[in-house]
């Protein structure tokens, strides 16, 4: 089967407001009949909270503490719980719904689109699987929580039985957008300093690459992530930058949130 060509955008480290504006612009500018699918890889500097599109940040986060410490609080275009982003590798992707043929539901597509992460973690020598494949039928999955990493859904990824990172999806007509985080180090304790209701047990229930003995540099991890994605979906990458339309759209979203 011929490999599909995808755009590859490596944004490097950016502030949270810019990261979310770019993600929003990539989705807004995507035309399913014309646009090339894309994978974006990026990081966060300084650390920031991203809240799900249906959340009210003031009900979850001590905003005055964030302002005092220069921690941005931004909204994502996807749902789910609040995430503290710092030492992590983050990805986003945009593709036509037809890229996932035969998926019977959004959840089916989600399982398929997170399969490259299973591949990625296993290449690092880690025992990774979806939560549904780890737990027996007596474990309740899918409970909604204000903090993303506090709950476990069937399609979440576990390493050695602990949740690692988080992923979320948004759909428009004929378009799939997905993004997710790969934590390099454990930042849950730091995040708790800014939560109105800290979850002190989350450090024991979640993990990160450093906690699993992985100390590979961020560039090498990004290269491995690209390789895992290409292998999983039979794609080839064309390194690219934001188009003029995408830059203009991102600038517009940033102005709206200032």
- Residue numbers annotated as active site: 148
Q: How far apart are the first and last CA of the chain?
A: 47
Ranges of beta strands (E only) in the chain are 4-14, 38-44, 48-51, 72-75, 83-85, 88-96, 128-130, 157-159, 162-164, 166-172, 175-183, 206-207, 235-239
Integer Cα distance of 225 and 231 in angstroms: 10
Distance CA 3, CA 11 (A): 24
For residue 156, what are its two tokens?
């979440």
Reference 249, options 36, 8, 29; nearest CA is: 29
Dihedral of CA 186/189/195/199: which sign? Answer: positive
The encoded tokens of residue 242 equal 């934001």
How far, in Å, CA of 141 to CA of 154, rounded?
6
Indicate left, alpha or beta for 92 from its phi (over 0: left) and psi (-120 to 50: alpha).
Answer: beta
Is the CB of residue 35 less than 8 Å from the CB of residue 9? no
């Amino acid at each position: 089967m011929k490999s599909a060509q995808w755009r590859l955008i490596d944004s490097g480290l950016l502030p949270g407001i810019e990261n979310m504006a770019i993600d929003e612009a990539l989705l807004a500018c995507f035309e399913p009949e014309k646009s090339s699918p894309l994978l974006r890889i990026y990081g966060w500097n300084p650390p920031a909270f991203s809240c799900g599109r249906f959340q009210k940040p003031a009900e979850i986060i001590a905003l005055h503490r964030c302002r005092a410490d220069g921690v941005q609080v931004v909204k994502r275009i996807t749902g789910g719980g609040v995430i503290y982003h710092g030492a992590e590798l983050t990805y986003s992707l945009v593709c036509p719904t037809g890229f996932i043929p035969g998926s019977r539901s959004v959840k089916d597509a989600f399982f398929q689109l997170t399969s490259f992460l299973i591949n990625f973690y296993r290449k690092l020598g880690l025992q990774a699987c979806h939560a549904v494949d780890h737990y027996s039928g007596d474990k309740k999955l899918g409970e909604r929580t204000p903090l993303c990493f506090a709950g476990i859904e069937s399609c979440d990824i576990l390493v050695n039985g602990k949740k690692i990172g988080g992923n979320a999806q948004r759909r428009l007509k004929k378009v799939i957008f997905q993004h997710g985080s790969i934590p390099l180090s454990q930042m849950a304790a730091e995040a708790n300093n800014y939560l109105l209701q800290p979850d002190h047990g989350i450090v024991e229930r979640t993990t990160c690459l450093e906690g699993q003995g992985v100390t590979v540099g961020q560039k090498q991890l990004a290269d491995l992530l690209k390789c895992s994605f290409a292998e999983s979906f039979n794609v080839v990458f064309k390194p690219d930058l934001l188009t003029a339309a995408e830059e203009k759209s991102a600038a517009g979203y940033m102005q709206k949130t200032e």
